[in-house]
Chain A
């Protein structure tokens, strides 16, 4: 297995226990996936579907009340499970091996410190370089992102939104990490800037050869950057496959709806919207969590939850209405012999 990241049966809940009232919010419920080397794995889903919680868990950035209740997370650059490590080792791997491009870079860069100081705060301790060598590396990185080194003396408010987002990318990639997690890096930007930032993200990823998890709710962005795409709904992964296949032939009813409702220039056919609202994760519906909004729901969907199964090689779907092909069924049987 040369997966850069493999996540097995991960469960992370927000658990609160006040005055004897126990509440659980199942934000990440039994997710299994793996990200190959040099791959951009896209995760799509609407707000409150658990995608941010998933990222936090994978980045080992959890705080109570969020708790990991089960499952394992393995990175190729670590010998042990992420949650078996002590704080010091975690601090060492962060930024050097595992870095993060956050959403809304205005909130990330310290508003009262110059960009130069942000670079020092974030990356300098991890690089083991002298100060002047460190800034040589930083300048190179900024140049690759078409930023002039003079912005190092600027404060975040002096830069435009697109420039700030590029600074955030430079910060995240200056240590040439093996794994990058990008959380909606383009959502706050407008169309023209968005395209540039995406192209630069892709270029940077190719150049340093890292693997990447790219999260956004915007499917058109996924169509332009992700190699493989996983769709999340209410804390679960419901469909996964090559981005092209997911777009050309969506199988889960939710994905079908998402793809069909994308407005496109040159296409005036009426687009329908799903009825209902995303479910609350504190009281998720029984069975398949999509069944209250699903046009194909039957009795079994209301009672039991469909497993995420391999339907055709390289393609997993969690839906009772989708039947696996014979060869996929044979493969599944080989792979998951009782262990």
Chain B
């Protein structure tokens, strides 16, 4: 029984400076967690900017090598993947979603070509009809259809539509794991919940596990099953989302929790400024 993803004592250090006066610092420092294959879940990684959450995501996606420790995906070590075939197989199972949908797509290329390329490489759809069918099927899962997206450039779609297209692209290969790096921070308030609810549907209906990277504690509380709190690359607290966020133990988590603006302060503001 292999877990879906296991991250074991992973460290990533970067060096700064020249030969003299070299400074080493750890972006990610001894992080461990694992996701079960049998029980799909939304796993939130929370931290401020500079806490190493994006570096961790890049290592899971095999675009960055850990300096120490091991990341295993379904038993195989990610950094030992060799050759095009193994990489494609891995990418078929693990898919990314990025922060800013407007930057994730090339503005000079039509959006649908990304869907076709994914269908070609990861779903084995070689014919044009097959690719279009795969794209349409994936778009339907996110509440869009190929008619709305076909032939469009990124600037012709709204931010919410683009982000949903990005999610649809990730779904074409029927992945087991999606790594979403701040997927809602650039999306408008009225559309944010539609993306967040979509993740819930993916977990419940399509049995996809999601690593949800964010600095927004409120949405993390709303959708995730477990959370991991990172401070300067180190894990400071981890556990079931509701437990950790309603009753934080570590001073850093408490600080994060207190920094959240609450709607209940609305009365205090009014009282304070009326004089």
Q: Give A residues with C-beta under 8 Å from B.
A: 38-40, 46-47, 161, 190-195, 198, 206, 217-221, 223-227, 242-244, 247-248, 254, 257-258, 261-268, 270-274, 277-278
**Residues on A with beta carbons closer than 8 Å to the beta carbon of B217:** 191, 265
**Residues on A with beta carbons closer than 8 Å to the beta carbon of B255:** 192
Beta-carbon contacts under 8 Å, B221-275 to A: 221-222, 242, 245-246, 255-257, 259-263, 265-267, 269-270, 273-274
- Residue from A40, A198, A223, A242 having most chain B Cβ neighbours under 10 A: A223
Q: How far does the alpha carbon of A261 sit from the alpha carbon of B192 in the complex, in Å?
A: 9
- Residue from B190, B263, B274 having most chain A Cβ neighbours under 10 A: B190
Q: Contact at A243–B269, with CB atoms within 8 Å?
A: yes
CB<8 Å pairs between A and B, sample of 18: A38-B273, A161-B49, A190-B49, A190-B215, A192-B259, A219-B263, A220-B261, A220-B263, A223-B262, A227-B274, A244-B267, A257-B190, A263-B219, A264-B218, A264-B263, A270-B197, A274-B190, A277-B160
**Residues on A with beta carbons closer than 8 Å to the beta carbon of B188:** 46-47, 217, 278
Given A261-B193, A277-B160, does the pair A192, B263 have CB atoms closer than 8 Å? no
Q: Contact at B270–A243, with CB atoms within 8 Å?
A: yes
Shortest Cβ distance from residue A211 to the other chain B in the assembled complex, whole angstroms: 12
* Cβ contact of B269, chosen from A191, A227, A263, cutoff 8 A: A227
**Residues on B with beta carbons closer than 8 Å to the beta carbon of A194:** 259, 261
**Residues on A with beta carbons closer than 8 Å to the beta carbon of B194:** 273-274
Q: Contact at A191–B259, with CB atoms within 8 Å?
A: yes
Given A161-B49, A191-B260, A277-B160, does the pair A263, B189 have CB atoms closer than 8 Å? no
* Cβ contact of B266, chosen from A192, A206, A247, cutoff 8 A: A247
Q: Which 10 A-B pairs have the closest CB atoms?
A: A273-B194, A46-B188, A273-B193, A263-B218, A263-B222, A223-B266, A220-B261, A192-B259, A277-B158, A191-B259
* Cβ contact of A223, chosen from B190, B196, B221, B263, cutoff 8 A: B263
- Residue from B242, B259, B266, B270 having most chain A Cβ neighbours under 10 A: B266
Q: How far does the alpha carbon of A227 sit from the alpha carbon of B197 in the complex, in Å?
A: 32
Given A226-B269, A244-B270, does the pair A278, B263 have CB atoms closer than 8 Å? no
Q: How far does the alpha carbon of A39 sit from the alpha carbon of B272 in the complex, in Å?
A: 12
Q: Give B residues with C-beta under 8 Å from A.
A: 48-49, 158-161, 188-194, 196-197, 215-219, 221-222, 242, 245-246, 255-257, 259-263, 265-267, 269-270, 273-274
Q: How far does the alpha carbon of A264 sit from the alpha carbon of B220 in the complex, in Å?
A: 10
Shortest Cβ distance from residue B54 to the other chain A in the assembled complex, whole angstroms: 13
Q: Contact at B49–A195, with CB atoms within 8 Å?
A: no
Q: Contact at B193–A265, with CB atoms within 8 Å?
A: no
* Cβ contact of A271, chosen from B48, B49, B197, cutoff 8 A: B197
Shortest Cβ distance from residue B274 to the other chain A in the assembled complex, whole angstroms: 8
Q: How many A-B residue pairs have CB under 8 A?
A: 125
* Cβ contact of B270, chosen from A161, A219, A227, A261, cutoff 8 A: A227
Given A47-B188, A257-B190, A265-B217, does the pair A225, B269 have CB atoms closer than 8 Å? yes
Given A191-B259, A220-B262, does the pair A265, B189 have CB atoms closer than 8 Å? no
Q: Contact at B261–A271, with CB atoms within 8 Å?
A: no
Q: How far does the alpha carbon of A227 sit from the alpha carbon of B271 in the complex, in Å?
A: 9
- Residue from B215, B219, B270 having most chain A Cβ neighbours under 10 A: B270
The residue on A at minimum CB distance from B189 is: A217
Shortest Cβ distance from residue A313 to the other chain B in the assembled complex, whole angstroms: 16
Q: Contact at B246–A265, with CB atoms within 8 Å?
A: yes
Shortest Cβ distance from residue A161 to the other chain B in the assembled complex, whole angstroms: 7
**Residues on A with beta carbons closer than 8 Å to the beta carbon of B245:** 265
Q: Contact at A46–B193, with CB atoms within 8 Å?
A: no
Q: Contact at B189–A219, with CB atoms within 8 Å?
A: yes
* Cβ contact of A273, chosen from B191, B218, B257, cutoff 8 A: B191
Q: Contact at A243–B266, with CB atoms within 8 Å?
A: yes
Q: How far does the alpha carbon of A225 sit from the alpha carbon of B262 in the complex, in Å?
A: 11
Shortest Cβ distance from residue B67 to the other chain A in the assembled complex, whole angstroms: 25
Q: How far does the alpha carbon of A267 sit from the alpha carbon of B193 in the complex, in Å?
A: 14
Shortest Cβ distance from residue A181 to the other chain B in the assembled complex, whole angstroms: 18
Q: How far does the alpha carbon of A258 sit from the alpha carbon of B217 in the complex, in Å?
A: 18
Q: How far does the alpha carbon of A244 sit from the alpha carbon of B268 in the complex, in Å?
A: 9
Shortest Cβ distance from residue B137 to the other chain A in the assembled complex, whole angstroms: 21
The residue on B at minimum CB distance from A272 is: B193
Shortest Cβ distance from residue A49 to the other chain B in the assembled complex, whole angstroms: 9
Q: Contact at A258–B190, with CB atoms within 8 Å?
A: yes
Q: How far does the alpha carbon of A264 sit from the alpha carbon of B217 in the complex, in Å?
A: 9
* Cβ contact of A277, chosen from B161, B260, B261, cutoff 8 A: B161
Shortest Cβ distance from residue B50 to the other chain A in the assembled complex, whole angstroms: 8
Q: Beyond A217-B188, A223-B266: 7 further Cβ-contacts under 8 Å?
A: A193-B48, A244-B270, A263-B193, A264-B221, A271-B197, A273-B194, A278-B158
The residue on B at minimum CB distance from A189 is: B49
The residue on B at minimum CB distance from A205 is: B273
